[in-house]
């Protein structure tokens, strides 16, 4: 069995990842790491995990540990990834990969030098819906993609209204949600973001200066113009992705979510049809791809490079909204 160490007694681990690892059949969570001994012990007890640690090095030395899943707050991702890599453990890290591109580069290089797999838990590219949309685009069903709209504004759940709203290193909605949109768009469009223009709001739910709502336009290398809307303070808003091509339009409704739900319609001359989707838990797929990569079978669903590109675009959007300038990404 693949032995996992959870770094961070976090909500995302609690709600999704303990189960996703458990569902693999050939994997086991051996220990959890928390800065708070009582929180770690309670987390371990809740999920029947044998050990909890407050010290990462001690956890990395746990017998049978092969991989770590890092879901601490963002400012810890870089140092903990490098620590795990140096101990020879494969790393599945949460997004945003890091707080800046220099740190992200160190993580990618550090894992490569240590010969361990680095994967980023950009869950949306694991959704059956997004996979199907990608297939339709690649099969030419809508011709050349021209425009795209991403609706990802929602209501930040009460239990997540902590560090996201007041810690500068959270990066607000830009490093929290927009970063996922960019990864999804790169996956769907098979193209790279080139220029970003953005406006943001803050100071209602977040502290002043930390973005809670973002509207951005991304110009992709293949010419597609993309409009993205993310928000923490938009209850009752719909989620979806619309891709308008030269021959047709795909509308994927309810797909910007952690849950395996949503539907797809394809509209062309002659009318609209519903596209069937076989849903599967996104996080189960993420862990499955990561474990295959550990065995030398392909890449994680999102690689360190994918994490870097999503981060670079999110930082560009942050810069664009703060400076009111269009920002061009490096090639
Ligand atoms: P949480 O706030 O739940 O957990 C982050 C850290 O906060 C934990 O590691 C824990 O520290 C500490 N913590 C947890 N509960 C408490 C508490 N009750 N009181 C005090 N401290 C607490 O964050 P999330 O799970 O929402 O996010 C963690 C990371 O995962 C982030 O990087 C985020 O961007 C990412 N994320 C990714 C998602 C995805 O779908 N890919 C979804 C949600 C988040 P300690 O470990 O020391 O116990």
| 225 and 275 assigned to the same domain | yes
Whether 306 maps to a domain, the answer reads: no
Tell me the pLDDT of the chain averaged across its residues: 98
Long-range contacts of 247-254 (CB under 8 A, 24+ apart): 247/140, 247/141, 247/142, 247/143, 247/144, 248/141, 248/142, 248/143, 249/142, 250/133, 250/136, 250/137, 250/141, 250/142, 250/275, 252/129, 252/130, 252/133
130-160, pLDDT tens digit by residue?
Answer: 999 999 999 999 999 999 999 999 999 999 9
Which residue among 33, 71, 230 is best mutated to probe the pocket of ligand 1, counting the most ligand atoms within 8 A of its Cβ? 71
Residue nearest to atom 26 of ligand 1 (CA): 11
279-304, pLDDT tens digit by residue?
Answer: 999 999 999 999 999 999 999 999 99
Q: Which residues line the pocket of ligand 1, CB cutoff 6 A?
A: 8-12, 34-36, 39, 71-74, 94-95, 121, 123, 160, 162, 176, 258
Tell me 329's DSSP state.
P
Strand intervals (E) in the chain: 2-7, 27-33, 51-53, 65-70, 90-93, 118-120, 145-153, 193-202, 211-220, 225-231, 240-245, 248-253, 263-268, 271-275, 327-328
31-84, pLDDT tens digit by residue?
Answer: 999 999 999 999 999 999 999 999 999 999 999 999 999 999 999 999 999 999
Q: What CATH number is attached to the domain comprising 99?
A: 3.40.50.720
Whether 234 maps to a domain, the answer reads: yes
Residue nearest to atom 24 of ligand 1 (CA): 11
**Closest C-alpha among 270, 272, 302, 297 to residue 286:** 302
| 144 and 259 assigned to the same domain | yes
| 62 and 164 assigned to the same domain | no
213-269, pLDDT tens digit by residue?
Answer: 999 999 999 999 999 999 999 999 999 999 999 999 999 999 999 999 999 999 999
| 119 and 130 assigned to the same domain | no
CA distances in angstroms from 73 to 66, 182, 207, 331, listed in the order given: 22, 20, 18, 29
User: Both tokens of residue 147?
Assistant: 């425009």
**pLDDT band at 331; cut points 50, 70, 90:** confident
Q: How much of the chain, in percent, has pLDDT values that exceed 70? A: 100
| 207 and 258 assigned to the same domain | yes
**Closest C-alpha among 243, 248, 217 to residue 230:** 217
| 292: containing domain | 2-123+284-301
| 131 and 261 assigned to the same domain | yes
**Cβ-proximal residues to 258 (8 Å cutoff; 6+ apart), any chain:** 15, 16, 123, 282, 283
Give the dihedral of Cα atoms 188, 194, 198, 202; nearest 10 deg.
Answer: 70
Residue nearest to atom 22 of ligand 1 (CA): 10
- The pLDDT of residue 236 is 94
User: Both tokens of residue 16?
Assistant: 């999704």
| 98 and 226 assigned to the same domain | no
| 131 and 226 assigned to the same domain | yes
**Are the beta carbons of 133 and 263 closer than 8 angstroms?**
no
- The pLDDT of residue 267 is 98
Per-residue exposure over 25-61, b if at least 16 CB sit within 10 Å of its own CB, e if not:
eebebbbbbbeeeeebbebbeebebebbbeebeebbe
How many angstroms separate the CA atoms of 59 and 134, rounded? 39
Q: What CATH number is attached to the domain comprising 194?
A: 3.30.360.10
**Which ligand 1 atom is the nearest neighbour of the CA of 163?**
2
Task: For residue 71, report the distance from its CA to the centre of ligand 1, in Å.
Answer: 6
220-231, pLDDT tens digit by residue?
Answer: 999 999 999 999
Q: Helix or strand or coil: residue 299?
A: coil
């Amino acid at each position: 069995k693949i032995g996992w160490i959870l770094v961070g007694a976090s909500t995302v681990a609690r709600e999704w990842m303990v189960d996703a690892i458990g569902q693999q059949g050939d994997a086991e969570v051996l220990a959890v790491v928390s800065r708070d001994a009582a929180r770690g012990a309670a987390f371990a007890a809740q999920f029947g995990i044998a050990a909890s640690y407050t010290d990462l090095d001690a956890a990395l030395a746990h017998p049978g540990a092969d991989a770590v899943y890092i879901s601490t707050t963002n400012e810890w991702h870089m140092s903990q990834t490098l620590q795990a890599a140096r101990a020879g453990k494969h790393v599945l890290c949460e997004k945003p990969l890091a707080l800046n591109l220099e740190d992200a580069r160190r993580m990618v290089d550090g894992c490569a030098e240590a010969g361990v797999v680095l994967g980023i838990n950009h869950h949306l590219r694991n959704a059956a819906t997004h996979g199907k949309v990608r297939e339709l685009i690649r099969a030419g069903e809508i011709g050349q993609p021209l425009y795209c709209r991403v609706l990802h504004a929602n209501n930040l759940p009460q239990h997540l209204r902590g560090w996201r709203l007041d810690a500068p290193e959270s990066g607000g909605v830009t490093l929290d949600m927009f970063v996922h949109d960019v990864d999804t768009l790169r996956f769907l469009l098979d193209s790279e973001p080139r220029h970003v223009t953005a406006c943001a709001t803050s100071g209602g739910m977040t502290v002043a200066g930390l973005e809670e709502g973002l509207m951005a336009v991304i110009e992709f290398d293949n010419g597609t113009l993309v409009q993205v809307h993310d928000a923490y303070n938009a209850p009752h808003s719909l989620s979806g992705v619309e891709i308008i091509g030269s021959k047709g339009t795909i509308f994927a409704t309810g797909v910007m979510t952690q849950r395996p739900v949503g539907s797809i319609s394809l509209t062309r001359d002659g009318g609209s049809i519903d596209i069937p989707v076989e849903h599967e838990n996104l996080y189960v797929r993420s862990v499955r791809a990561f474990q295959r990569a550990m065995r030398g079978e392909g890449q994680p669903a999102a690689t360190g490079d994918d994490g870097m590109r999503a981060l670079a675009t999110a930082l560009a959007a942050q810069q664009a909204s703060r400076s009111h300038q269009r920002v061009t990404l490096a090639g």
